[in-house]
Each structure stands twice: as C-alpha cells, then as structure tokens.
Amino acid sequence: MSTTFDTIANIIAETCDIPRDSITPESHAINDLGIDSLDFLDIAFAIDKAFGIKLPLEQWTQEVNDGKATTDQYFVLKNLAARIDELVAAKGA
C-alpha cells in the first residue's frame, strides 16, 4: 500500500511532467518543484479525487496572506501529506 506522500508525488510527477526521483518529502511544491498556481489546481483536483477530500486551498492561501502560516506548512510535501491525512481522518470521524 503506497503512502500518502507516494500518492502525492506520483500525481505531481504525472501532472507536471517532473521526474519522480526528484520529488522528495522535503520538496517545496512551489519553491523547489516550480509548480505554479494553475498546475496546482490540477494537482488539487487529482488529490481531492484520490483521497475523497476537498483541500482547503482558499483557507490556506488566506492564512499565508494574513501571516498566520507559512507556505512550508502546506506546500512542503511531507507537510502536505500530513494535512491530507488529517482531512482523511476527519472525514471518517
């Protein structure tokens, strides 16, 4: 069974044509992988469908813009995987 990170990394590799080997848990989706907002919509769509959740992108963006969070908290892939696991757990609760 693949991990949440593996699923995300595979989605990013396929959606953005980024070599899978270059995607690590420490990768920042924007700063390291160069994913722009439009490509991230595709990734969010694939993640939403794969996990049956709705990534709260607008809330995250607002928190970053308000200085209440850093992009690292949501866009470093190990952190993104943790957020997804939380959303999946909340869905099943």
Partner 1 sequence: MRLEYFQLIDRVTELNLADRTIRTEATVPQVSTVFEGHFPGYPLMPGVLLIETMAQSSGWLVVALNKFNRMPFLAAVKDAKFRTFVLPGQLLSVTATLEHDGSGYAVTNAKITSAGKPICDATITLRVMPFPNGEIRQHMCDQAARLGVPSQESAHG
The residue ranges that bind partner 1 (CB under 8 A) are 38, 41-42, 44-45, 48-49, 54-59, 61
Tokens (6 digits) for 18: 């980024």
Q: How far is the CB of 43 from partner 1 (least distance, A)?
A: 11
Q: How far is the CB of 13 from partner 1 (least distance, A)?
A: 18
Cα 2 to Cα 60: distance, rounded to the nearest angstrom: 26
Question: Which residue, among 40, 26, 5, has the nearest Cα to 72 in the 3D structure?
Answer: 26
Q: Which residue has the tokens 């099943």?
A: 92
Q: How far is the CB of 21 from partner 1 (least distance, A)?
A: 27
